[in-house]
Amino acid sequence: MSNEIAVDTGRSIDMVEGLPGIVSDWSSDQRAFKRVPWGKAMMWIFLLSDTFIFSCFLLSYMKVRMTTTVPWPNPSEVFALTIMGNHIPLVLIAIMTFILISSSGTMAMAVMFGYRKNKKVTGLLLVITALFGASFVGMQAFEWTKLIVDEGVRPWGNPMGAEQFGACFFMITGFHGFHVSVGVLFLIIMAVKVYRGSLDIGRPGLFTHRPGDYEEIEIMGLYWHFVDLVWVFIFAFFYLW
């Protein structure tokens, strides 16, 4: 059976009940994504799929951590730095976390000034966000170098305890670092487009749609906030546990 509803145009649309109606609505985009830009909808779908991947990684890490019979390395000792003779635990990780969370603030402000059509401030905030992200990746590279060269940690072995530690660490932090690196690249591309006025005139190209539409900044912001949120879970599960 089907019901009819009136729409703004004065026409009526048949609403099919049950599962066939759900399939019909979503496939025809009559109501499910009404007034929702496809770029934003696709970004949400991508982030949902990425959430499943990171969840699988973290759940696998928890499973390995709780079932291994070999002592797990103490993160406070493994990720400590010696500064002026003092052994400070997790200092580098704390700085990395602060930088990434701060980048969420600058990204949010970039979205706000983008919708205000303030080209200069939007471009500047995108560049600052990209610099924060690049700093994070650089610190992560330093962390990897320290573990590989100084501590001898490998994906297939670990002299400080459970062998699975290296595999879990490089897989989880490497996958997240890849996301941050991709985000930095696209932030730079977006900043160049903003400064060139491509979003104002709708110049054809990557991330350019309708003239005067700064919606791409918000879509970029969704991705960046997701990357920051994932790091909060990695920080809690991997470095504090």
pLDDT in tens, 154-207: 888 888 888 888 889 999 999 999 999 999 999 999 998 888 877 766 555 555
If asked whether residues 75 and 150 sit together in one domain, one would say yes
Single-letter amino acid code for the residue at 210:
R
What distance in Å separates the CA atoms of residue 151 and residue 82, rounded to the nearest whole number?
Answer: 14
pLDDT in tens, 111-122: 999 888 888 999
If asked whether residues 42 and 31 sit together in one domain, one would say no
If asked whether residues 4 and 99 sit together in one domain, one would say no
Cβ neighbourhood burial of 17 (10 Å; 0-12, 13-18, 19+): exposed
22: domain range? Answer: 1-35
If asked whether residues 17 and 59 sit together in one domain, one would say no
If asked whether residues 2 and 49 sit together in one domain, one would say no
The tally of domains found in the chain comes to 2
If asked whether residues 112 and 183 sit together in one domain, one would say yes
If asked whether residues 20 and 91 sit together in one domain, one would say no
Buried b (16+ CB within 10 A) or exposed e, 98-134: ebbebbbebbebbbbbbeeebbeebbbbbbbbbbbbb
Alpha helices for 85-214 (secondary structure H): 91-115, 119-145, 164-196, 198-201
Phi, psi of 161 (to 5 degrees): 155, -135
If asked whether residues 3 and 82 sit together in one domain, one would say no
129 near 41, Cβ under 8 Å?
no
185 near 192, Cβ under 8 Å?
no
47 near 223, Cβ under 8 Å?
yes
If asked whether residues 6 and 52 sit together in one domain, one would say no
If asked whether residues 123 and 9 sit together in one domain, one would say no
* Mean pLDDT score, 34-63: 87
pLDDT in tens, 202-223: 555 555 555 556 788 889 999 9
Note the pLDDT of residue 32: 52
If asked whether residues 136 and 202 sit together in one domain, one would say yes
Give me the percent of the chain exceeding a pLDDT of 90.
43
What distance in Å separates the CA atoms of residue 208 and residue 213, rounded to the nearest whole number?
Answer: 8
Tell me the three-class secondary structure of 107-120, residue by residue: HHHHHHHHHCCCHH
* Mean pLDDT score, 95-101: 94
Note the pLDDT of residue 129: 97
If asked whether residues 11 and 88 sit together in one domain, one would say no
Q: Looking at per-residue confidence, does 55 or 27 come out higher?
A: 55
Whether this model's pTM surpasses 0.75? yes
